[in-house]
Amino acid sequence: MKRKPDGAPLTIGGPAAFPEKFFAASKGVRDAGWSCIKRMPSYLQLLRVLQAQGQEYVSGTVLATVHNFEPVLVRKDLAFTGAVGQPRRGFRILELIAAIERFLGWDNQTKAVLAGVGSLGTALLGYPGFQDLGLRFVGAFDIDRKKIGSWIYGRKVQPLAQLTPFVRRGEILLGVLTVPATAAQETAELMVRAGIKGIWNFTPVKLQLPEDIVSQKEDLAEGLAVLSHRLQRRKRT
């Protein structure tokens, strides 16, 4: 089977059975580039604040100023979403939020299972903000007998052996990996065999996965290393 290392650029496309919305894989997304995609959540966050304040329209310039981006960059980003602004008024906030959510594939909830209900897994299960990001944990799995059967933020921890039938029954496409590094590859492979098509990998392991599987690695140690190094340099100067 052809494999690619985890952390490589996300595969865009995939089998026909894989919903387009999961990949956020419209042509627009492919053309937009990762930097543009990564800016979208910050636009969304501000738009939701403005909406909560009762504002109806926002200009690209306001979005740019608040985020300290070039206005032309913001205009280009928003163009990818298909949102159309009105002369002098700007974008209708309601419509812009919907356009960005559609663009990111966040307009529908994606069901996810989580494997490894340790400290990090528990924190992720308890984070209510994922609702707004189109992610809904529907199942949590572990191998620790002491944890199996307990309830974590409204989800019963199930034995890992139940992951496959659960995923197949629920047609779940996204798996979140918070197991120890030593169990990462085998657990990811189990998820893939069960039918999972996308893995959000919180372990430090570079997973070897089939070509048609999308994965994203969040290595907290990497981020902290960069931050600590910059802090050291700042201290020296």
- Residues near ligand ATP (CB under 6 A) are 115-119, 121, 141-144, 147, 160, 179-180, 183, 187
Min. distance of Cβ 212 from ligand ATP in angstroms? 23
Query: Biggest alpha carbon distance in the chain?
Result: 62
Distance in angstroms (rounded) separating the CA atoms of residues 174 and 118: 19
**Nearest distance, CB of residue 184 and ligand ATP, angstroms:** 9
For residue 15, which phi and psi values (nearest 5 degrees)? -60, 155
Give the nearer residue to ligand ATP in terms of CB position, either 124 or 213. Answer: 124
The one-character DSSP state at 112 is E
Beta bridge partners, 115, equal: 141, 177
Closer to ligand ATP at the Cβ: 160 or 174? 160
Collapse the DSSP code of 164 into the 3-class scheme (helix H, G, I; strand E, B; otherwise coil) and give the result.
helix
Which residue, 52 or 181, is less far from ligand ATP as judged by CB?
181
With CB atoms as reference, the residue minimizing the distance to ligand ATP is 118
Closest to ligand ATP by CB, 11 vs 122, is 122
Rounded Cα distance between 176 and 188, Å, is: 9
Tell me the sheet residues that pair with 57: 92
Give the residue with the Cβ less far from ligand ATP, 77 or 142.
142
Residue 92, token pair as written in the block: 């209708």
Determine whether 89 is exposed, middle or buried from the number of CB atoms within 10 Å of its CB (0-12, 13-18, 19+): exposed
b/e per residue 192-229 (b: at least 16 CB within 10 A): bebebbbbbbbbebbbebeeebbbebbeeeeeeeeeee
Reading phi first (left if > 0) and then psi (alpha if -120 to 50, else beta), residue 157 is in beta
Between 118 and 165, whose beta carbon lies closer to ligand ATP?
118
